[in-house]
Amino acid sequence: MKTQTRNESARRGRILPQRFYARDPRIVARELLGKVLVRTLSDRVPELAGRIVEVEAYLGQDDEAAHSAAGETARNRVLFGPPGHAYIYFIYGVHFCLNFSCLPAGQAGCVLLRALEPLSGIEEMARARRINSVRLQSPSGRKLLTSGPGRLCEALSITRSALNGAALYLPDSGLRIVEDAFQPMEIGESPRVGITKSSALPLRYFIAGNKFVSR
DNA sequence: CAACCGATCACCT
DNA sequence: GGTGATCGGTTGC
């Protein structure tokens, strides 16, 4: 299923305010498409940035696939806190995944980032992902940078110890989401990837036709 | 104390 | 394109 969206008021570079996240994860997920994730590593290194092209919504209730489904624990505490914070978890003993907390404090919905289109700092991303410069020349090589939830975290040096709980709406937290110039986009929907419970819900959203969508 | 995973890679056709 | 190996934190028994 595909639908059209439009956002006339986009102002490039404006940080999304906390209230952007204080809504249903399905709305937040769709509106995050086309926005830009900016990662600041230090004052000395140029910022890394990528356009959000694929996300999944995890609901605050009636969603058995959500980490919050079994209630609050030490790991998922951020999900139950205020909206607009990074929830980062470690999966399969190897990878990190980045989520944004949604809904007011006390409700635990979130959005998982599944793929970015690299915009700047591509050389640095390739170093972090151990992709050599020859491979980076090809479309398939560039897709290895940030197409996948574990890949994008590795490319942007996003770890739980560094960024779990970070406020996405503050300019100095190392991770923020900004608006980009308006561009027409068609949004595709599908079931979410890699889960077994609540697997039929169509809560994965992506920019139709974008080459950096993971699948 | 052990099963469970929201993924990726190498290697195969 | 498809298949199998893999790792370790988190959780609940």
* Rounded Cα gap, residues A84 and A78, in angstroms: 10
Q: How far is the CA of A214 from the C1' of B6 (A)?
A: 14
Q: Is A68 helix (H, G, I), strand (E, B) or coil?
A: helix
List, in sequence order, every beta strand (DSSP E) within A59-180: 86-91, 95-101, 110-120, 175-178
Q: Using one digit for the tens of pLDDT, what is the confidence trace for A115-169?
A: 999 999 999 999 999 999 998 999 999 999 999 999 999 999 999 999 999 999 9
* Mean pLDDT value across chain A: 91
Task: Show which positions of strand C are touched by protein (CB under 7 A).
Answer: 6-12
User: Which of A7-16, A158-167, A169-178 has the lowest average pLDDT?
Assistant: A7-16
Gap between the Cα atoms of A4 and A15, Å rounded: 24
Q: Which residue would you say has higher pLDDT here, A156 or A215? A: A156
pLDDT at residue A9 in the model: 59
pLDDT at A29: 96
Q: Which nucleotide is nearest to A164 (CA to C1')?
A: C9
pTM of the model: 0.94
Q: Which nucleotide is nearest to A114 (CA to C1')?
A: B6
User: What is the rounded distance in angstroms from the CA atom of residue A96 to the CA atom of residue A106?
Assistant: 24
Q: Which token pair is A128?
A: 């972090």
Q: How large is the average pLDDT for residues A175-192? A: 93
Residue A2: what pLDDT?
47
Q: Which residue is nearest to nucleotide C7 (CA to C1')?
A: A93
